[in-house]
Amino acid sequence: MSEFVAVGEANQVPQDRGLSVSVGGCEVALFNIGGQFYALNGRCPHRGGPLGEGITENGRVYCPLHGWEFEVKTGACLSNPERRVACFPARVLNGRVEIYL
């Protein structure tokens, strides 16, 4: 059954940056873009780079290994449109970021 799961404190996710967190053995990349929170599968489909550690710019994250570019809001891969990453709904409740798994 799917449900929202708390993954961290909202104040731990820097503005316009990402953060890698582990949820049930899976790596998830959390992003705080302009005060809105987003969650993506944490591994780049190209070579498994940690997307939560990538550089963010204009609502996009760049994989730190080879620079593949992803839309944070949708998971769309601009470097290879066939290789999008999964997105998870995210919300902040009582100061904690929750994602829907």
pTM to 2 decimal places: 0.91
What pLDDT is attached to residue 101? Answer: 83
Q: Which two tokens stand for residue 58?
A: 């204009």
Mean pLDDT, the chain, as a whole number?
Answer: 93
Per-residue confidence at 39, pLDDT binned at 50, 70, 90?
Answer: very high
Per-residue confidence at 73, pLDDT binned at 50, 70, 90?
Answer: very high
Total number of domains constituting the chain: 1
Q: Per-residue pLDDT averaged across 30-44, rounded? A: 95
Percent of the chain with pLDDT over 70: 99
What pLDDT is attached to residue 25? Answer: 85
Q: Which two tokens stand for residue 88?
A: 């998870």
Range of the domain at 33: 4-100
CATH number for 12: 2.102.10.10
What is the distance between the alpha carbons of residues 99 and 92, in angstroms, rounded to a whole number? 9
